[in-house]
Amino acid sequence: MKSGLYSFLFAMWGLIIIGGGIMVVLLGPFSIQQYGDFHWIITSGIKVTIALILVVIWILILSKLKNYIFKKELKF
């Protein structure tokens, strides 16, 4: 049981590092310039949308991982 918790912690850590990397690679260089003074708002809006999608994917992966690691314990 306890090893399962440590594995889950380690997996979450790995997901944060990888998720962060994807965020930097995807969102970092992203920019729209053709909308004059409002380009930063549009760019930020798109970044927010991508970030939210990434968070949802992250939670789904984590949920699958939780069910896999704790499949015995979660039969409450």
Partner 1 sequence: MIELIIPAIISCILAFFVVYFSTPPLIKILVKKNYTVKDMNKKENIMVARPGGISIILAIVVSEIILYGFFQLNEILAIIITTTAAFLIGYVDDRKVMGGWFKPVTLAIAALPIIFLGAYDSNLTFPLFGDVQIPLLYLGLIIFMIPITGNTINSIDVLNGVASGFMVIASFTLSICLFILQNYEIAIVSLPLGFVSLAFYKYHKIPSKIFPGDSGALTFGAMYGVIAIIGGVEIIAAIALLPAVINSFLFLASVKRVVEHRQIKGKPVEHTDDFKLKATNDKTAPVTLVRLILAGGPLTEKQVGFVIFKLAIFSGILAIITAFMMGVSL
The number of residues in the chain equals 76
Instruction: Compare residues 17 and 34 and give the one whose CB is closer to partner 1.
Output: 17
Tokens in use for 31?
Answer: 């920019």
Q: Which of 48, 51, 49 is nearest to 19 (CA)?
A: 51
Among 32, 54, 61, 62, binds partner 1 (CB under 8 A): 62
Answer for the pair 3, 72: CB distance below 8 angstroms, yes or no: no
Tell me the number of residues near partner 1 by CB under 8 A.
33
Answer for the pair 39, 32: CB distance below 8 angstroms, yes or no: yes
Q: Is 13 in the site for partner 1 (CB under 8 A)?
A: yes
Residues near partner 1, by CB under 8 A: 1-2, 5-6, 8-10, 12-13, 16-17, 20-21, 23-25, 27-28, 40-41, 44-45, 47-48, 51, 62-63, 66, 70, 72-74, 76
